């Protein structure tokens, strides 16, 4: 797949995530509506079952998007992009509910695109060089990503991010994401239990490592890196 085809397939970019401008005259263009998955619900089997995807996307992700739209309807936040809602509400106790639902809406959109059927292959050259410069090797990058995701206490996310001239692995709890830290997310792994419990029960490490080996979308990460 060429980069043009990859981007045309509906892939989102990194932070700032480039989304269509909000057109108040067309509900379908509202960036906070639930976008379609970038693949069929069964496309990630056997690593992630269609049952898990159906519940994760159709219940959890949809719930965050629906809650966000209700919370900001008629407020000054209603005309902002998803990223600006996140940064405008981060760290403000009175805006916690809005922040959590906005961040989780963004995180899930990013997560779906961080995965692909038949993923896990060697990253494109532009990303491969950055990985080698930052971690020493692709193997070490994957190890650090796995360690971050597996050791994130309770719910949260493991991320590959760009920080200036280097790449880093970071983890965040609950709804938090690297946008609020001035970092540029390249890809993410969801380690909330609803992302894997039906398929792996308490075996988070097995879920994370199988996902990294077989589903991680390094082309998505490379496209995000190119847009910084």
Domain spans in the chain, listed from the N-terminal domain onward: 125-226
Q: Measuring CA to CA, how many Å separate 23 from each of 18, 34, 80, 81, 82?
A: 15, 16, 11, 11, 14
In CATH terms, the superfamily for domain 125-226 is: Iron/manganese superoxide dismutase, C-terminal domain (3.55.40.20)
What's the confidence (pLDDT) of residue 188?
A: 98
What's the confidence (pLDDT) of residue 30?
A: 54
The answer to whether 90 and 184 are in contact (CB under 8 A) is: no
Q: What percent of the chain has pLDDT over 70?
A: 86
The span from the CA of 221 to the CA of 110, in Å, is 10
What's the confidence (pLDDT) of residue 31?
A: 57
What's the confidence (pLDDT) of residue 7?
A: 33
Average pLDDT over the chain, rounded to an integer: 88
- The string of pLDDT tens digits covering residues 99-135 is 999 999 999 999 999 999 999 999 999 999 999 999 9
The span from the CA of 103 to the CA of 123, in Å, is 27
The answer to whether 102 and 86 are in contact (CB under 8 A) is: yes
What's the confidence (pLDDT) of residue 33?
A: 77
The enclosing H or E element of 155 equals: none
Q: Which among 53, 30, 55 is positioned nearest to 40, based on CA atoms? A: 53
Predicted TM-score (pTM) of this structure = 0.87
Number of residues that this document lists for the chain: 228
Beta bridge mates, 184? 162
- The string of pLDDT tens digits covering residues 150-196 is 999 999 999 999 999 999 999 999 999 999 999 999 999 999 999 99
Residue 93: asked if its preceding bond is cis (omega within 30°), the reply is: no
- The string of pLDDT tens digits covering residues 26-47 is 232 355 679 999 999 999 999 9
DSSP 123: P
Answer whether residue 6 shows pLDDT above 70: no
- The string of pLDDT tens digits covering residues 33-83 is 799 999 999 999 999 999 999 999 999 999 999 999 999 999 999 999 999
φ/ψ of 48, rounded to 5, equals: -125, 125
Q: Which among 208, 204, 201 is positioned nearest to 187, based on CA atoms? A: 208
3-class DSSP assignment, residue 111: helix
């Amino acid at each position: 797949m060429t980069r043009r085809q990859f981007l045309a397939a509906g892939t989102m970019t990194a932070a700032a995530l480039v989304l269509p401008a909000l057109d108040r005259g067309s509900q379908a263009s509202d960036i906070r509506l639930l976008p379609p998955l970038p693949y069929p619900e069964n496309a990630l089997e056997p690593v992630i079952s269609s049952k898990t995807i159906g519940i994760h996307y159709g219940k959890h992700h949809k719930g965050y998007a629906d809650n966000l739209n209700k919370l900001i309807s008629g407020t000054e936040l209603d005309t902002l992009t998803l990223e600006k809602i996140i940064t405008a509400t981060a760290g403000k106790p009175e805006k916690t509910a809005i922040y959590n639902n906005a961040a989780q809406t963004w995180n899930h959109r990013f997560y779906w695109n961080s995965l692909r059927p038949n993923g896990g292959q060697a990253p494109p050259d532009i990303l491969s060089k950055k990985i080698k410069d930052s971690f020493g090797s692709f193997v070490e990058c994957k190890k650090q990503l796995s360690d971050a995701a597996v050791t994130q206490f309770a719910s949260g996310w493991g991320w590959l991010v760009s920080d200036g001239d280097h790449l880093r692995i970071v983890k965040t709890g609950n709804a938090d994401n690297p946008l609020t830290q001035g970092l540029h997310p390249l890809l993410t792994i969801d380690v909330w239990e609803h992302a894997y419990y039906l398929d792996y029960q308490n075996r988070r490490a097995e879920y994370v490592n199988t996902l990294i080996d077989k589903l991680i979308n390094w082309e998505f990460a490379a496209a995000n890196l190119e847009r910084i």
